[in-house]
């Protein structure tokens, strides 16, 4: 489901979300399957998501993710609950950088956090039935362009400072000879091919405007393209409300501590300079799109 479709659904939220949950979908809340406790939104997290529903987006994302600070990092933390990836669709005990961002958005974009599965599945599967093959595995070629096209995100990189285009051509031979191809249990026909472009700010340019990046914006780490490698995006987090002179990025990271944590955005950007084996080209900045109405008819007006 696209953001536009989900926005329309919220005009009748109160029946739409409840019906989706009662139909036995991945509720991420109290209607979750009994055999999938990891998919149940912790009560305190659900309460915070509801209490913060009328705040600006960045403040909502901060309030919800405050509850997740310190959660351990685990690569490939989510799946479809069936072969070839038996991890659950939703979980709140461990995260990787992408599942952390997806879950925070799923809990903060809808007016009622019980609609989190609709947002999560929209971001991750583009509205298709959740399956390993339908998942947006690759950031440059699937997740970013798909979620921009579906209306979940807007690329605001060029509005912040000087940018340049990073371009990558991906064809069948790229996938065939990529040494990490074997990590993905996908048929060749499911691998995206084409010419892909991403506006990127250099590290220097990003440091100049770090304080101007709006709260809630997703900060995408982009590596320098390598011949024969179909990926260039290797990390993402988001900016939380903070002093413009001391901007803060929140992310699930493999850095020291390996958990959900905050870092100075200026420190993080400067740190990116030292990746010499695979240099960092810069960052892209994507803004989640609001849709509404924000207030759910299932919740009290107070």
Which architecture does CATH list for 153-288? Roll (2.30)
Helices then strands (H, E): number in the chain?
11, 8
The residue with tokens 């070839």 is 84
User: CB-hemisphere CA count at 13 Å for 181?
Assistant: 17
Q: Which whole-number Å values give the CA distances from 26 to 135, 151, 183, in the listed order? A: 15, 22, 26
- Domain 3-149: CATH superfamily is Putative xylanase like domain (1.10.3670.10)
Domain boundaries, the chain: 3-149, 153-288
Exposed (0-12), middle (13-18) or buried (19+): which is 165, by Cβ within 10 Å? exposed
The pLDDT tens digits of the residues spanning 66-96 come to 999 999 999 998 999 999 999 999 999 999 9
User: What are the per-10-residue average pLDDT scores of the chain (302 residues)?
Assistant: 46 26 30 49 95 95 98 94 94 96 97 92 94 97 97 97 97 96 96 97 98 98 97 98 97 95 98 95 97 51 42
pLDDT in tens, 187-212: 999 999 999 999 999 999 999 999 99
As given in the structure block, the two tokens for residue 96 are: 């990787």
Q: Rounded to whole angstroms, how far apart are CA atoms 288 and 286?
A: 7
Instruction: Count CB-CB contacts under 10 A for residue 241.
Output: 16
**CA atoms 209, 211, 213, 217: torsion sign:** positive
Taking the CA atoms of residue 224, residue 229, residue 230 and residue 236 in that order, the dihedral angle to the nearest 10 degrees is -50
Cβ–Cβ under 8 Å, residues 154 and 215 = no
Q: pTM of this prediction?
A: 0.86
The DSSP line for 185-252 is ---GGGS--EEEEEEEB-HHHHHHHGGGSPTT-EEEEEEPP-TT----EEEEEEEES--TTS-EEEEE
**How many percent of the chain have pLDDT more than 90?**
81
Q: Of all residues in the chain, what percent carry a pLDDT higher than 70?
A: 84
Are 161 and 211 a contacting pair, CB within 8 Å? no
């Amino acid at each position: 489901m696209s953001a536009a479709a989900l926005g329309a659904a919220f005009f009748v939220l109160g029946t739409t979300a409840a019906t989706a949950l009662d139909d036995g979908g991945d509720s991420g809340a109290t209607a979750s399957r009994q055999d999938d406790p990891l998919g149940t939104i912790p009560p305190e997290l659900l309460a915070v998501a509801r209490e913060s529903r009328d705040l600006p987006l960045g403040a909502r994302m901060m309030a919800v993710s405050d509850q997740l600070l310190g959660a351990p990092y685990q690569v490939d933390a989510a799946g479809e609950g069936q072969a070839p990836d038996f991890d659950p669709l939703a979980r709140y005990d461990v995260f990787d950088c992408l599942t952390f961002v997806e879950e925070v958005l799923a809990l903060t974009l809808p007016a009622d956090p019980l609609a989190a599965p609709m947002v999560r599945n929209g971001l991750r599967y583009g509205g298709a039935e959740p399956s390993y093959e339908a998942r947006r595995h690759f950031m440059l070629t699937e997740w970013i362009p798909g979620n921009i096209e579906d209306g979940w995100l807007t690329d605001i990189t060029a509005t912040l400072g000087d940018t340049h285009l990073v371009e990558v051509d991906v064809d069948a031979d790229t996938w065939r000879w990529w040494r990490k191809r074997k990590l993905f249990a996908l048929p060749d026909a499911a691998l995206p091919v084409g010419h892909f472009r991403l506006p990127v700010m250099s590290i220097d340019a990003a440091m100049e405007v770090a304080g101007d990046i709006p709260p809630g914006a997703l900060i995408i780490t982009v590596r320098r393209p390598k011949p024969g490698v179909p990926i260039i995006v290797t990390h993402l987090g988001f900016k939380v409300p903070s002093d413009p002179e001391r901007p803060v990025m929140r992310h699930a990271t493999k850095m020291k501590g390996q958990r959900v944590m905050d870092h100075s955005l200026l420190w993080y950007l400067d740190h990116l300079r030292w990746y010499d084996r695979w240099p960092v080209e810069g960052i892209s900045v994507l803004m989640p799109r609001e849709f509404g109405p924000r207030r759910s008819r299932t919740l009290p007006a107070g």
